[in-house]
Amino acid sequence: MMTNKKVVLGITGGIAAYKAAELVRLLVKAGVDVQVVMTEAACQFITPVTMQALSGKPVFTGMWDSSIANGMPHIELSRQADAILIAPASADFLAKLVHGRADDLLSTLCLARDCPLLVAPAMNKQMWENPATQRNIAQLIDDGITILGPDSGEQACGEIGLGRMLEAEQLLAELNAFFTPKLLSGKRLLITAGATLEMIDPVRAITNLSSGKMGYALAKVAVDMGATVTLISGATSINPPPNVFNIIATSADNMYQAVMKNIAMQDIFIGVAAVADYAPIETSTKKIKKSEHSLTLHLTKTKDILADVASLPNPPFCVGFAAESEDLIEYASQKRIAKKLPLIIANEAISALGNDDNQVTLIDENGTHALSRAPKTEVAQLILTHIASMHISRLS
């Protein structure tokens, strides 16, 4: 979402200025055109030379730069930008923004801007908690300025608490979310993800190789697109994305009950979880001891979550996933028709499970739409854009 975006990165005085170097590197890697502007105090913590080397552009530090043709960098820089991000934003600079002060290039640039402004506060915990700072933050929010963070943790002064600037990776994710079109604004999504565990005894289970990465990517991107997301997750080692309502459901039956309990009022249901088709009829309360004889398991078929949701009297827009090891398009198409789904996502099981990237084919009533292999977050963006388009067209 950030490719070819133009961002002015403002750096103010604070020890967190060192994080700006990594942020510039990540932004440039993501295809962002970064123009760095530094205050005089920022230059005491990290040099303009470093920022120039990482951004590939001269760094602006003063009002009177002759390289700008009309001598007005505070106007020219803001007119070319899609957004201005101040990271770190010191307590002093936040106060400047509130009162409209314009006594250096960066503050003047912010006052003269005609693009969105985002700030990432960074300061000692007492400075952050001070009533004056909190009043300033409230006023900035009222003024339409986006506040990113701060985080809590150990600070340079040795104290622990709120005030740490978000890490570069977090700021990158926040900026990407900011630029993501809000195609799902006001929509409620329920997504299942991960593998289920069907217990044989207290230490053994029937499961599969699903990592949950695709479902979690869809949940994160859906939030970025403005949706309210409920994520029902089976077994996975991934931390849930921020700003989602996360429910843990370890077995197929647990997941079925959780979905049915939360499906009411949902606009869209996406069944990504690799739910076991069969579960042991009986589960031993004690570990089954190894013997010379073979072990026979008696299995029963589990409930079909996707089919039952799609069969509700007023079902949400239902999207399924089909992971196959052969005849992918044929089997996925049959599954879509049998379960009466408007859309199914077909992916090759062996290459998709557990990996960070994926290659999928979207199958709907208009045919197939093959997507190129890409990181699962990018695949999620394309899938959700297609879902948003189909859902809107069905409502109109």
Q: State residue 116's pLDDT score.
A: 94
From the list 118, 107, 120, the residue with the least C-alpha distance to 19 is 120
> Would you state the torsion angle of the CA atoms of residues 371, 375, 377, 381, taken in this order, to the nearest 10 degrees?
-20
Can you give the pLDDT at residue 350? Answer: 63
pTM equals 0.81
Residues of the chain with CATH 3.40.50.1950: 6-179
Mean pLDDT value across residues 302-320: 94
* Residue given tokens 């647990």 in the structure block: 254
Nearest to 192 by CA among 306, 96, 111: 306
Buried b (16+ CB within 10 A) or exposed e, 192-206: bbbbbbbbbeeebbb
Is pLDDT above 80 for 348?
A: no
Q: In whole angstroms, give the CA distance from residue 386 to residue 218.
A: 12
Q: Mean pLDDT, to the nearest integer, of 141-162?
A: 84
Q: Which fold has domain 6-179?
A: Rossmann fold (3.40.50)
- pLDDT recorded at residue 40: 92
Which of 20-24, 68-72, 300-304, 340-344 shows the lowest mean pLDDT across its residues?
68-72
- Looking from the CA of 280 toward its CB, the CA atoms found within 13 Å total 17
Quote the mean pLDDT of the chain: 89
- Is 70 exceeded by the pLDDT of residue 71? no
Which of 15-24, 69-78, 94-103 has the lowest average pLDDT?
Answer: 69-78
Confidence check: pLDDT of 75 > 70: no
* 93 vs 109: CA distance, rounded Å: 12
Give the pairing type, strands 360-364 and 367-370. antiparallel
| β 360-364/343-348 pair status | antiparallel
Are 49 and 117 in contact, with CB atoms under 8 Å apart?
Answer: no
Catalytic residue among 110, 115, 157, 318: 157
157 labelled catalytic: yes
Q: Where are the alpha helices (DSSP H) in the chain?
A: 17-29, 48-55, 73-79, 91-99, 105-111, 125-129, 131-142, 168-179, 213-224, 252-262, 305-310, 328-338, 349-352, 376-395
Nearest residue to 274 via CA among 232, 228, 316: 232
Q: What's the confidence (pLDDT) of residue 328? A: 85
Q: Which two tokens stand for residue 368?
A: 């197939």
Most confident of 53-67, 69-83, 174-188: 174-188
Every domain range in the chain assigned CATH 3.40.50.10300: 188-284+292-395
Q: Measure the CA–CA gap between 102 and 50, rounded to whole angstroms.
A: 26
**Residue 206 pLDDT:** 87
Residue 363 is inside which H or E element, if any? strand 360-364
Q: 188-284+292-395 belongs to which CATH class?
A: alpha beta
